[in-house]
Amino acid sequence: MKRLLLLALVLGAACSSPKTNDKELLTVSILPQKYFVEKIAGNLLEVQVLVPPGAGPETYSLVPSQMKELSKSTAWLRIGKVGFEDAWHEKIEQGNPNLKVFDTSADADWIAEEVRQHGDHVHVHGVDPHIWTSPTEVLKIASLTYKALVELFPDKAGVFQENYEIFRAEIEALDQELLSQFDELKHRGFLIFHPALSYLARDYDLEQISLEVDGKEPSPKYMSELIKHAREEGIRVVFIQKEFDQENARQLAEEIKGEIVPLDPLAENWAEGLREIARKIVEASK
């Protein structure tokens, strides 16, 4: 009886105890941003990610529970121009009028199909949103993330600044590391299903050849051109992200007597994810 009474008291205390996690909640769009925020904020904040692992930020739709969680968030740090944000930002902001929103892509050097000057501002069309695959662009994202955190939590500015300086040095070191790796490439072209590495290719003078064109599967004519080009260049690897159907990539790999190799440009550990991508590109070029 005494044991039962003790157990009941323990359970009762556990159920009535207040929530121990009193950290401010911050929302980001994609997993690499969680890495950026945590590099600068350490463990001072709780970070929630809207696009879950395995989902594509171009087409993802929020579920009701995420809209509810957003109401608890202090701020939302956007990554820029992914389809998910374009489709949902008005609903998110209208449903959460007190939510502070920051665009961490404001300083990006976009890759776009068309750029037009209108007076004192520029319009870009057909923008490639994958700026987080470039260390050069991530330096800018990190700077804007740091500034947003200082604005939101000025009492923690000292910690943020120290961590930001360390993170910036890490990004610059990674840039030099990748530059050294890619300098040794025999073939600078690579095949990929979805063109998620445009900014990485721009940084390191690589040629990204995409199966997908304007978000659509390749036509038979385009597929034939890809097969011919791959054979001429000796390309034997087709990269693909896990959130996409592999059928077209498999067909191309069979035609060039090659293989499919998975890549994850949305890895939560951003630095290790880029290192893994670089390693696979270098290996495929041999």
Regarding whether 272 and 140 lie in a shared domain, the answer is: no
CATH code, domain carrying 275 = 3.40.50.1980
3-state secondary structure of 64: helix
User: What pairing do the DSSP bridges indicate for beta strands 237-241 and 100-103?
Assistant: unpaired
Regarding whether 209 and 162 lie in a shared domain, the answer is: no
In a domain, 9, yes or no: no
Q: Where are the alpha helices (DSSP H) in the chain?
A: 2-16, 31-41, 64-70, 83-95, 135-152, 157-183, 198-203, 220-233, 247-255, 270-284
CB 279 within 8 A of CB 237: no
Q: Which of 268, 263, 265, 267 is nearest to 280 (CA)?
A: 263
End-of-domain residue from the set 147, 177, 207? 177
Regarding whether 153 and 257 lie in a shared domain, the answer is: no
Structure tokens at 207: 């040629």
Query: Assign residue 205 a region: left if phi > 0, alpha if psi is -120 to 50, beta otherwise?
Result: left
- Opening angle at CA 280, ends 278 and 282, nearest 5: 70
User: Count of residues for the chain?
Assistant: 286
Domain range enclosing 140: 22-177
Regarding whether 265 and 138 lie in a shared domain, the answer is: no
In a domain, 163, yes or no: yes
Regarding whether 247 and 156 lie in a shared domain, the answer is: no
pLDDT at site 260: 96
Regarding whether 163 and 72 lie in a shared domain, the answer is: yes
Strand partners, 207: 189
pLDDT at site 14: 36
End-of-domain residue from the set 153, 177, 201? 177
Regarding whether 214 and 150 lie in a shared domain, the answer is: no
In a domain, 117, yes or no: yes
End-of-domain residue from the set 154, 177, 200? 177
Interatomic CA distance for residues 145 and 60, integer angstroms: 23
Regarding whether 224 and 90 lie in a shared domain, the answer is: no
Q: Which helix (H) or strand (E) holds 112?
A: strand 111-118
In a domain, 2, yes or no: no
- Mean pLDDT by runs of 10 across the 286 residues of the chain is 38 35 92 98 97 93 92 96 94 94 98 56 68 98 98 98 98 98 90 96 96 88 94 94 87 95 97 98 94
